[in-house]
Each structure stands twice: as structure tokens, then as C-alpha cells.
């Protein structure tokens, strides 16, 4: 039998991973969440259990998505159901403890961002997963998207030469900051232990480090723009929130060799027309667009000497990125499970690795320290 035939037979013999879901909130159940979109990959994953401390919420999700087992605690789910992996959809402050418990139980892990809130927990997650041969996939998933994969290829090929600096936009107006509302109480997003750096800045950190590699140093500014916020729409419209977490953070990453990136983590971006990421190189510019208009591609390239003696914008039509992106848009947050299963089955290291998540966490922690102390701080982790 040929190698290809053997691989195809192996794929046919694989059983879907038995998944437990920890947390029955928005990321689990809404239209862009994990559970509604696992329908696209039934051959890869079957949800057999769900746990949430608000057990009635877990029961509602179980009824809606046909999940057989319902629990009020992670411990009960790990003990009561046969699981291959757990998807950790708990709030930010619980990620470290719950992920460690999942790995110590011998289960593969897909977790929402950030990986943890302390370096001690992040180190332990990396070490335990490696020691037990377990796969960890950490959100956000952007590094998997075709535009980012293609952008990295273009950078590696030297399309714009040495990257000198980048601008990265990874923020919005904050939960409850839109007139369209927020389906749940957004208060916790503005409290100590959360905030836009951990909630949104993490996207920009993952994106730019996926493109340029690990950063070496960071310097930051951060603060609270207004002591209170008022929810603008939705079921909690009019609610006043006391803001205790910094809601406006800007920082610069030093990648070595005089390559820098400015990244934001703020709840103060109501709109923007600029590209999501702009990278300025010695021989050109590479933009990753956000919400491209119909007919426009997600990437823009400006090249010196695009033609002999002529600089200009180049937007090749053969990349096919929009069509390839449709699959990821269809999966939404279920892409974490898709990537976890692919990594487990292939035995290859996940693109959304625990090591990358740990590096992003160190950046965020050092951002907060830099803003507090006014110092540029060295980074020690890599991926």
C-alpha cells in the first residue's frame, strides 16, 4: 500500500475526539461560538459533556446542542465523563487553574485567551503538556488565517525587505460601547483582572509575533480614560460601570535589529479606516486589511521598483485568500477545536501553541509593569 493510501486509511479509522466544554457562556453558545459551529466538523469532534457553575445554563446548552452529560464543576466532568480533550471557555481569571487541572487529568486542551494570568501558571501549562505528551491550543486563532499565512510567506521571501516598524490595531469600543448592545452584563470586562489589554490587545500581540517572531523588549503607557462607563444598548443599556482596569493601553515591541511595532489594547476605538496591520519595510509596505470592501483583497503590497524605476501598489489576484478564509469564517470559534484535532492526529506542534500563548502573556504582564514603572523591560520567553 502507498504512503498516501495508508494515510487515507488511517484518517478513515480515526474516531472523533470526545470533547468536554467548560463554560456555557457567549463564546460557547452564541452564533460565532464553539458549539453552534462544531456541526461543520462532526468527523473530528463530538461534545459529550458540558460544565458550568450556573448549571441551568449548562442544561440549556446541552438541550440545544444535544450534549448528553451536564455538570456544575470541572472536577465532576473530568471524573464523570470519558474525555479526550476539554475546551476551556471560562473567564480570563480562571484560565490558569482550570487549564492546569485539565492537563493533570491527562486531557488535551483548547483554551481561550490569554493562556493564564501568571507566568508561573503559564510555565506549568507548557511543562505539564510536554511531560504528558498532550497538545495545547491557545486562542486567538488569527495566525491560522490565510491572510496571515500568506503575509508571513511574503515577509520570509523578502517582498518588502527588512521590516523596520509596524502598526497594529487590535481594539474596539469595548463591550457595551456600541449602540447595538451586548447580550450579557459587560461589567467584568472593565474590572481588575480583565480589561482591554487581556481581552483585545492579545490579538495584536499574537498577530505581530506570528509575523515577526518573538519580541525582545517592551515599553508601554496605560491608564483609565473615564472612571465610569454607561452601557449604550442591549439588555443592560443604561447600566453604569465603575472602571477599575486600565481601559487605554499603547505599547511598543522591540524585535531586535531596529525592528519595532506599536500595538494598542484599548476600549476606545469606535471606528477606523486604516489597515489592521501596517508593516513598513526597506523595500516596501505590507498591509493586512480589516473588513475589506467587496472586491478588495485582504492584503496590500507596495513595492519599490515594482517596475524598473517605478514604485507602486501591487495587489495580485491569484492569492485566493477570500475563498480560503470562508472556511475559517464558517467555523468561527470552533476553529480552535478543528486545529486541536488536526494537531493531535498529525502529531505536529500546534501553530497556536502554548509556548506562543506564554510569550504573549509575558508581553502583557511586562506591558503593565512598564506602564507602572516607566521602564523598558526585557522579555525572556520565546516560541
In a domain, 329, yes or no: no
In a domain, 345, yes or no: no
Same domain, 84 and 162: no
The CA distance from 304 to 30, in Å, is 45
Q: What is the pLDDT of residue 320?
A: 57
206 sits in the region (left: phi over 0; alpha: psi -120 to 50; else beta) called alpha
Q: What is the pLDDT of residue 6?
A: 36
Same domain, 157 and 109: no
Q: Where among 138, 171, 204 does a domain terminate?
A: 138
| Residue numbers of the chain with a pLDDT score lower than 70 | 1-13, 291-297, 316-323
Same domain, 114 and 157: no
Share of the chain above pLDDT 90, in %: 85
Q: How many domains does the chain have?
A: 2
Same domain, 310 and 173: yes
CATH number, domain with residue 91: 3.40.50.720
Q: Where among 138, 167, 186 does a domain terminate?
A: 138
- List the grid coordinates of 183: 447580550
Domain that holds residue 89: 3-138
In a domain, 331, yes or no: no
**pTM of the shown model:** 0.92
Question: 303-351 pLDDT, tens per residue?
Answer: 999 888 899 998 765 555 656 788 888 999 999 999 999 999 999 999 9
- List the grid coordinates of 321: 485568500
- List the grid coordinates of 258: 531596529
Helix, strand, coil percentages for the chain (3-state, nearest 5): 40, 20, 40
Q: What is the pLDDT of residue 8?
A: 41
In a domain, 328, yes or no: no
Q: What is the pLDDT of residue 306?
A: 86
CATH number, domain with residue 318: 3.30.360.10
Same domain, 231 and 106: no
Same domain, 24 and 155: no
Give counts: helices (H), strands (E), the chain: 13, 17
Same domain, 81 and 167: no
Same domain, 174 and 231: yes
In a domain, 335, yes or no: no
Amino acid at each position: 500500500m502507498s504512503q498516501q493510501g495508508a494515510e487515507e486509511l488511517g484518517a478513515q479509522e480515526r474516531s472523533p475526539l470526545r470533547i468536554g466544554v467548560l463554560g456555557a457562556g457567549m463564546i460557547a453558545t452564541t452564533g460565532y461560538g464553539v458549539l453552534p459551529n462544531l456541526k461543520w466538523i462532526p468527523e473530528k469532534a463530538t461534545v459529550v459533556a458540558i460544565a458550568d457553575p450556573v448549571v441551568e445554563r449548562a442544561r440549556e446548552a446541552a438541550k440545544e446542542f444535544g450534549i448528553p452529560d451536564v455538570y456544575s464543576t470541572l472536577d465532576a466532568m473530568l471524573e464523570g465523563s470519558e474525555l479526550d480533550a476539554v475546551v476551556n471557555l471560562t473567564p480570563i481569571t480562571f484560565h490558569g487553574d482550570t487549564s492546569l487541572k485539565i492537563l493533570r487529568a491527562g486531557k488535551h486542551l483548547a483554551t481561550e485567551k490569554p493562556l493564564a494570568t501568571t507566568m508561573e501558571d503559564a510555565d506549568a501549562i507548557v511543562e505539564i503538556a510536554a511531560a504528558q505528551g498532550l497538545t495545547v491550543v491557545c486562542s486567538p486563532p488569527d495566525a491560522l488565517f490565510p491572510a496571515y499565512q500568506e503575509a508571513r510567506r511574503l515577509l520570509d521571501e523578502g517582498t518588502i525587505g527588512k521590516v523596520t516598524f509596524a502598526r497594529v490595531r487590535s481594539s474596539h469600543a469595548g463591550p457595551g460601547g456600541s449602540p447595538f448592545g451586548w447580550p450579557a452584563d459587560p461589567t467584568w470586562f472593565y474590572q481588575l483582572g480583565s480589561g482591554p489589554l487581556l481581552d483585545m490587545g492579545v490579538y495584536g500581540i499574537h498577530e505581530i509575533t506570528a509575523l515577526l517572531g518573538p519580541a525582545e523588549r517592551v515599553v508601554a503607557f496605560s491608564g483609565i480614560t473615564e472612571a465610569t462607563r454607561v452601557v449604550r444598548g442591549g439588555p443592560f443599556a443604561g447600566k453604569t460601570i465603575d472602571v477599575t482596569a486600565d481601559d487605554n493601553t499603547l505599547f511598543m515591541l522591540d524585535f531586535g535589529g531596529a525592528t519595532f511595532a506599536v500595538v494598542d489594547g484599548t476600549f476606545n476605538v469606535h471606528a477606523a479606516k486604516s489597515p489592521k496591520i501596517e508593516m513598513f519595510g526597506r523595500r516596501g509596505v505590507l498591509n493586512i486589511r480589516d473588513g475589506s470592501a467587496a472586491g478588495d483583497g485582504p492584503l496590500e503590497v507596495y513595492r519599490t521598483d515594482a517596475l524598473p524605476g517605478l514604485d507602486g501598489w501591487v495587489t495580485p489576484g491569484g492569492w485566493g485568500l477570500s475563498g480560503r478564509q470562508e472556511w475559517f469564517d464558517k467555523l468561527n470559534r470552533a476553529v480552535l477545536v478543528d486545529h486541536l484535532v488536526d494537531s493531535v492526529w498529525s502529531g505536529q506542534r500546534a501553530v497556536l501553541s502554548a509556548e506562543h500563548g506564554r510569550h504573549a502573556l509575558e508581553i502583557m504582564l511586562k506591558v503593565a509593569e512598564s506602564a507602572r514603572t516607566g521602564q523598558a523591560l526585557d522579555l525572556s520567553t520565546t516560541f
